[in-house]
Structures are given as C-alpha cells and as structure tokens.
Amino acid sequence: MLSPRTRVIGLAAVITFATSLGAACGAAPTTAAGDASASKAKTATSAADLGGLDKLVEAAKKEGALNVIALPPDWANYGEIIKTFSAKYGIKVNSENPDGSSSDEINAVKTRKGQDRAPDVLDLGTAFALSGAAEGLFAPYKVQTWDKIPEGQKDAGGAWYNDYGGYVSIGCDAKRVDTCPQTFADLLKPEYEGKVALNGNPTKAGAAFAGVFAASIANGGSFDDIKPGLDFFKKLKDTGNFNPVESTPATVQNGETPISIDWDYLNAGYTEQFAAKGVDWKVTVPSDGRYAQYYAQAINKDAPHPAAARLWQEFLYSPEGQNLYLKGYARAVLLPAMQADGTADAALVEKLPKVEGTPEFASDAQVNKAKEVLATGWGAAVSG
C-alpha cells in the first residue's frame, strides 16, 4: 500500500472479495483443513519439507482457498497478480479490506487466531514486518528463490522477506497546479496552500512513514534521526500547505489532493490510469529527499490455509510473479538477479521511474526508532 494502507495503480481484477468482517466478533474459531497434510504444511519451512513444489501445489489445491488482506487491486498490480494466481492453481482468493493498513493486518492476525477467516499472508511496511516478527506472529518459510533475495532484504530465519519497493516521490496534477514542485523545499511555497497530502497516517501506513523519513533526509536528518521530518510537516501545517486528507485514487482524480507524497510506483500508475480522465499527473523523485523502501511478505503462523499461503509466496517470488510487480511499476526485489539471468521483462524495466544513484536502506534498529518517534510526535506535529 493511498487509502490508509497506502496502495494504488490501476487494473480492476476479478477477485472474490470477502464481505466486511469485523475485527474479533462473529464466527467461532475453526480451521480450514485439519488433516495430516495441512498439519505438515503448517510447519513446512520450504517446499522441500512437503516433498517439492508439485506436492505443495497439490496440498494448496486441496485447501482450495487463500485469505489475503489489505491488497488493493490497483496497488503494485495486485489485481492482476491475484487473478493470475487464482486461475493458475484453481484457488479461490478471498480479499478482505483492500484499503486497510499494515496495522490492520497485524490486528487481524491477533484477533482472529484459530478462525478460518484469519489472513493467511501479509504484505507489510518494514516497521510492521519487524514488529510482527518480534512478536512471533509469522511462520518461517524460505521460497525456492531465497538465495537470490539480496542480503539485508530478508529475515535470516525466513520470518519475512522483501517483495517489491520504490522511492518516495511527489505526484502533482499539472492541470490544477501551475508549477509542480520538484523538491521537499518547494512544498513550503505559498502557492501550494492546502494542496500537499500524504498517502495515509505515518504511524499506520508504510508509504506515509516513508514520506516523513524522506522529508527528514531533505532537512538535515538521517536514518538515525527522523525528527527533522516531523518538524518539516509541522512547518507545512503551520504555513497552511499541509492537506490532512489522506490521498487515494479518488481524491487524486477529483482534485481533492492535487499534490501527493507517495511511492513512485503508485504515482507513476496514476499517470497512466488517469490520463484519459483529465488528470495530467506529473511525478518526480525529489533530489533533496531520496528515500527507498520495500514492502515485505510474511505468512501468518496460524494461517487457516498453510499450503496455499506458502504457494502464494512461491508464486510471488517466481519470475512470473516478480514481472507482474514490474508491470505495476514496482521495483521487484529479485530484479538484479533476474536481469542477470535474463528473466526480467526488459520493456517493463525501461518504464520504471528514473532515479540516479544506488539506494540505501535504514537498518531494523533505525526503522524501529523512527517508528517510536512518530508514534509519540506525529499527532502533535499536525494537530489543530
């Protein structure tokens, strides 16, 4: 993940959406598949533990369903990804709360433990992947392409691993804004009064969290110090430029959030998605606040469909799944390895937003520290 979860990009898919499910009320705890094969899948840390990928596919088809959460169909091409997975394996995908946040995902895991409507798999911002792993919520599992995932982009034990990512960017509707901003410093100009929005709340949503981190870097901060980012948004609010509306595809299209700080793959998707609807969406990666981050996959330790959950990961980390992320303008985590072995779709790579330099990433400790600072300081910075 625009919307609290912070996701977006363009393609409606034929998905079986679960009806609205409350947090912890309703059906009594049940499990989806209680036979021996399901039990074996629940503890499998690799496809080899089940006898290989074919056996994993067999077990997943027997379960027949997969529960996903907080995956908007227009975010990183998840609509097509879900549709392709479902058609390929004949597995019904129940997609709940597509506009939810990373924190909503963690809450669903905790409150629905033992229930067949619990999420099987999670797609989380870095801070939430780290905290969930620390709480022991995830099942360790290493996909067949594990060794190709770069070091630093995965938990050593397989509790989580990055899947796709991008850079913080500034999107702007050039038909509503005379001169689009190119840097964070530009955003303080009086001409942008009431126009600058974030994709979500940074204490809950990965994209907004990254937006504050990027603002910090642009204002003398670092991975060790996110406070200048808080100070920047306080100044943005005090000048009247900060727009508290959390940007979504709808708010972008209707002009409610004409400037949106968001991932480059989401903003790039807007450019294509809304061109025919009168939105001239321009995207820039600000040179004064270059910040890159990936989202991470994890399997619910108590997944009601443990084999399908593991097969989902195998699909996402296959060349087919990674190229589908690229189709949504997201930078697939296996891209370097795929470019080396020739499995990356070169045409899709060419369409990625251009950025100079090699990205650097905050460490686990730095992300956790930043999360604590935001938890205590964000409300005060933008309230009133």
Q: Quick one: 100 and 210 in the same domain?
A: no
* Confidence check: pLDDT of 8 > 50: no
Q: Quick one: 155 and 107 in the same domain?
A: yes
Amino acid of residue 350: E
Residue 104 falls within a domain, yes or no?
A: yes
Model confidence, pTM: 0.78
* Confidence check: pLDDT of 375 > 80: yes
Q: Quick one: 218 and 141 in the same domain?
A: no
Residue 3 falls within a domain, yes or no?
A: no
Q: Quick one: 258 and 297 in the same domain?
A: no
Q: Quick one: 126 and 180 in the same domain?
A: no
Q: Quick one: 62 and 128 in the same domain?
A: yes
Q: Quick one: 33 and 126 in the same domain?
A: yes
Q: Quick one: 93 and 31 in the same domain?
A: yes
Sheet containing strand 16-17, edge to edge, reads 16-17, 92-96, 65-69
> What pLDDT does residue 32 have?
44
| pLDDT tens-digit series, residues 241-295 | 999 999 988 999 999 999 999 999 889 988 888 888 889 999 999 999 999 989 9
What average pLDDT does the structure give for the chain? Answer: 89
* Confidence check: pLDDT of 37 > 70: no
Give how many domains the chain has, as a whole number.
2
Q: Quick one: 365 and 221 in the same domain?
A: yes
Residue 251 falls within a domain, yes or no?
A: yes
| More confident position, 263 or 13 | 263
- Residue 116 belongs to domain with CATH number: 3.40.190.10
Q: Quick one: 156 and 260 in the same domain?
A: no
CA distance 47 to 355: 36
Q: Quick one: 98 and 113 in the same domain?
A: yes
* Confidence check: pLDDT of 160 > 80: yes
Residue of 254, 248, 255 whose CA lies nearest to 195:
255
Strand partners of residue 300? 138
* Confidence check: pLDDT of 313 > 60: yes
Range of the domain at 214: 166-292+356-382
> What pLDDT does residue 358 have?
73
State the Cα angle at 137 between 18 and 362, rounded to 5°.
Answer: 105
